Amino acid sequence: MKHTSLLSSFASPQALVTIYPVWYRIMFKQVTSNSSIKRRLILVGRLKRSSSICAIAGGVLLAAKVDLNGYGFIFLALSSSQMLLASILRKDQSMIFYSASLFLFVDCLGVYRWIFS
Protein backbone atom coordinates (compact mmCIF):
# COMPACT_ATOMS: atom_id res chain seq x y z
CA MET A 1 0.00 0.00 0.00
CA LYS A 2 1.49 3.31 -1.09
CA HIS A 3 1.41 6.13 1.44
CA THR A 4 0.51 9.55 0.03
CA SER A 5 0.05 12.62 2.11
CA LEU A 6 -2.92 14.88 1.83
CA LEU A 7 -0.66 17.79 0.88
CA SER A 8 0.95 15.96 -2.03
CA SER A 9 -2.45 15.16 -3.54
CA PHE A 10 -3.44 18.85 -3.46
CA ALA A 11 -0.06 20.10 -4.68
CA SER A 12 0.11 17.87 -7.73
CA PRO A 13 0.28 19.68 -11.07
CA GLN A 14 -2.92 18.03 -12.26
CA ALA A 15 -4.81 19.34 -9.23
CA LEU A 16 -3.46 22.84 -9.74
CA VAL A 17 -4.43 22.85 -13.41
CA THR A 18 -7.96 21.79 -12.62
CA ILE A 19 -8.42 24.07 -9.60
CA TYR A 20 -6.84 27.27 -10.96
CA PRO A 21 -9.32 28.00 -13.79
CA VAL A 22 -12.27 27.61 -11.41
CA TRP A 23 -10.69 29.92 -8.84
CA TYR A 24 -9.73 32.44 -11.54
CA ARG A 25 -13.25 32.49 -13.00
CA ILE A 26 -14.79 33.05 -9.56
CA MET A 27 -12.39 35.90 -8.73
CA PHE A 28 -12.74 37.50 -12.16
CA LYS A 29 -16.51 37.34 -11.98
CA GLN A 30 -16.55 38.88 -8.51
CA VAL A 31 -14.17 41.68 -9.48
CA THR A 32 -15.91 42.55 -12.73
CA SER A 33 -19.35 42.43 -11.16
CA ASN A 34 -18.38 44.96 -8.48
CA SER A 35 -16.84 48.02 -10.09
CA SER A 36 -15.82 49.65 -6.80
CA ILE A 37 -13.62 46.66 -5.97
CA LYS A 38 -12.15 46.79 -9.46
CA ARG A 39 -11.37 50.52 -9.12
CA ARG A 40 -9.78 49.91 -5.72
CA LEU A 41 -7.57 47.13 -7.10
CA ILE A 42 -6.49 49.35 -10.00
CA LEU A 43 -5.65 52.17 -7.57
CA VAL A 44 -3.69 49.80 -5.32
CA GLY A 45 -1.68 48.58 -8.32
CA ARG A 46 -0.87 52.12 -9.41
CA LEU A 47 0.12 53.11 -5.88
CA LYS A 48 2.45 50.12 -5.61
CA ARG A 49 4.12 50.88 -8.96
CA SER A 50 4.52 54.55 -8.08
CA SER A 51 5.87 53.60 -4.67
CA SER A 52 8.49 51.38 -6.27
CA ILE A 53 9.59 54.14 -8.65
CA CYS A 54 9.88 56.66 -5.79
CA ALA A 55 11.82 54.18 -3.64
CA ILE A 56 14.31 53.54 -6.45
CA ALA A 57 14.72 57.26 -7.12
CA GLY A 58 15.21 58.00 -3.41
CA GLY A 59 17.67 55.17 -2.97
CA VAL A 60 19.73 56.26 -5.96
CA LEU A 61 19.83 59.86 -4.73
CA LEU A 62 20.95 58.79 -1.26
CA ALA A 63 23.54 56.34 -2.56
CA ALA A 64 24.99 58.84 -5.05
CA LYS A 65 26.16 61.22 -2.29
CA VAL A 66 25.53 64.29 -4.40
CA ASP A 67 24.31 67.70 -3.24
CA LEU A 68 20.73 66.62 -3.95
CA ASN A 69 20.84 63.54 -1.75
CA GLY A 70 18.47 65.11 0.81
CA TYR A 71 15.71 64.88 -1.78
CA GLY A 72 16.15 61.12 -1.56
CA PHE A 73 14.52 61.20 1.85
CA ILE A 74 11.52 62.99 0.36
CA PHE A 75 11.20 60.35 -2.36
CA LEU A 76 11.48 57.58 0.23
CA ALA A 77 8.86 59.26 2.43
CA LEU A 78 6.59 59.56 -0.60
CA SER A 79 7.21 55.89 -1.40
CA SER A 80 6.34 54.59 2.05
CA SER A 81 3.30 56.87 2.34
CA GLN A 82 1.99 55.47 -0.94
CA MET A 83 2.64 51.94 0.29
CA LEU A 84 0.82 52.81 3.53
CA LEU A 85 -2.20 54.03 1.56
CA ALA A 86 -2.18 50.91 -0.63
CA SER A 87 -1.99 48.71 2.48
CA ILE A 88 -4.91 50.55 4.06
CA LEU A 89 -6.97 50.06 0.90
CA ARG A 90 -6.15 46.33 0.89
CA LYS A 91 -6.74 46.10 4.68
CA ASP A 92 -3.42 44.29 5.09
CA GLN A 93 -2.61 44.86 8.76
CA SER A 94 0.97 43.61 8.71
CA MET A 95 1.87 45.88 5.78
CA ILE A 96 0.06 48.81 7.43
CA PHE A 97 2.24 48.37 10.52
CA TYR A 98 5.41 47.94 8.45
CA SER A 99 4.88 50.90 6.14
CA ALA A 100 3.66 53.18 8.94
CA SER A 101 6.68 52.41 11.10
CA LEU A 102 9.01 52.85 8.13
CA PHE A 103 7.36 56.15 7.28
CA LEU A 104 7.46 57.52 10.83
CA PHE A 105 10.78 56.25 12.12
CA VAL A 106 12.98 56.28 9.02
CA ASP A 107 11.60 58.69 6.46
CA CYS A 108 10.27 61.43 8.70
CA LEU A 109 13.44 61.33 10.82
CA GLY A 110 15.55 61.60 7.66
CA VAL A 111 13.54 64.54 6.33
CA TYR A 112 13.68 66.22 9.76
CA ARG A 113 17.47 65.84 9.99
CA TRP A 114 17.91 67.01 6.39
CA ILE A 115 15.80 70.15 6.87
CA PHE A 116 17.09 71.14 10.33
CA SER A 117 20.78 70.34 9.94
This prediction has a pTM of 0.64
- Tell me the H-state helices in 11-92: 13-33, 35-64, 70-90
Buried b / exposed e along 7-40 (16+ C-beta atoms within 10 A): eeeeeeeeeeeeeeeeeeeeeeeeeeeeeeeeee
Task: Kindly report, residue by residue over 41-92, the tens digit of the pLDDT.
Answer: 888 889 999 999 999 999 898 888 888 877 888 898 899 889 999 999 888 8
Res. 26: pLDDT tops 90: no
Res. 9: pLDDT tops 80: no
Of 3 and 46, the one with more pLDDT: 46
Say if residues 77 and 32 touch (Cβ distance below 8 Å): no
